[in-house]
Structure 1
């Protein structure tokens, strides 16, 4: 290989013959491992640029150079066979050294001890240290080792490509997560702003209503007060007149006043059409208009009223589901399909058989879902035994692909507490006494259960619907439409007959 050809086959980065050469958009060529390492280093800081012309590029711009790959491989084989005109230049950072000699015998290393994996001279081969060892000529051993090295390099390059792909995927997922976080933040702000607008609007409406009520009430009070003040003013004038007459010292002057003014005033104060001299009360007919200003229910239960009103504007709300009627004579679905309960039982089952039977008796909703996100709430109240979950809708005429054990359920069991059941495998969540892993008799569990189903992400989550605390979340897959599934639990001699009710909003 001539000097000019050798230079053309050298990677500008490592200064060695190309290994898996790739070209950039600017037509400069590099070893794939070299340019990938450069790309990895530069991508963390800024945009990646060509080491030679500084032109921008990305991972997707790398193009394999098949012709140059074949030429580089042929040149490498020629060098290794000893037919090259000169030794290949050493990688950057290394110097081309003269032939090595044995420091012990001052002889050239012509052999390679396969047993000890070290260079030896002819004299070393015949020595006691290497008796019975296997030897190979240096060039042949170098060729074999390079083949091994080339295989390891190929494996490493392949692994690095896969890792690089994972790195890019992870970076992409990080970007997607950040974008999703921004979207969710905007969604949260939008939802709360809608609620804020509703609350601000209702606040202004209630304030305006209160102001109108105040004006109406105060106007009536002011009108009544004018009547009272008018009578008071007249009464005080009469009081002053009569009081001043009592202060007239001369009898003749007093009687003159009495005949001209006093007697008419006194007669005017008496009630007419009566034989008795009774003074007419000027207080009669007057009353104080009481404070009647109030908001009614809004005055004492304003937050509750606003919550009820907000249900009209909150979207989405839990879907209204109706329960299908059951063939089980011991389960009664309400007329509207909103609840299911145990019927009264007299005799019949043996206890053990009944326990096994009752644990599998369920009803499902008539509505089914398979895509999207859905949320339902079920009122369980103070029941001692119940189950809420999902069941795949079985197609009529087809072999069932679901057994009762495949139901995804959240149970409350008297002897176990809260239990999650998936594919027949039970996972204790909260023991009956309130501590995981313990046994007790006290009933522990939510009074209302929320079930959130995300078909797209294949997850189902159970919540305490009163506090919105997550009780459990699990993976699930859907190959068929599924329905809400309710189990009223054990009859317990009539102590567990309260219904399970699907909440409607």
Structure 2
């Protein structure tokens, strides 16, 4: 062959490529490792059973494939291959060599793009829930503020009514007037205090929700690799 052929499994220059009945052509080394791990003859790419025994293809001289254009955070630390797959059981990025290793034996995998889109859908659903919750908090704040204003206004009105009433009574009733006003102010203070506590609590929750929304929006804008690397922490948050 005049042109180098890449193995679709290890993503290195193929040598002794093995044409399978499904149409894929992994190198002999990758295919042998895959079958040794699984103890059955399936394609390491599409997982279909292989009919017949594949024959080795033209031998190509093996040499390293330059990967300096791949960002460092997208390279497997253990095998130095691109992180092109996502383990669905362990929720982590893997390369082709990781996939064939014993750590992920029997696990299901999907491409990085598919994993990112599926998990972005999960976060988008969570984001919608948080936005609805934020709207509910805002409505509650408005309602509580209206209640607080009503309580304050009602207290002032009652205070004026009580004063007008007792001004018409004899001096002996002054003590009763003062007692009723004191009780009213105490009640107003208690109610206002309770309402203020509720407003402070909801305000704190709103701040936490806004922080979480901001974090999710930033994660959704991040690259797939960075997004998936932070995905579990974002979900826990």
Question: What is the TM-score normalised by the length of structure 1?
Answer: 0.19
Higher relative contact order (CA 8 A, sep 6+): 2
- In terms of Rg, which structure is larger? 1
Higher helix share: 2
Higher strand share: 1
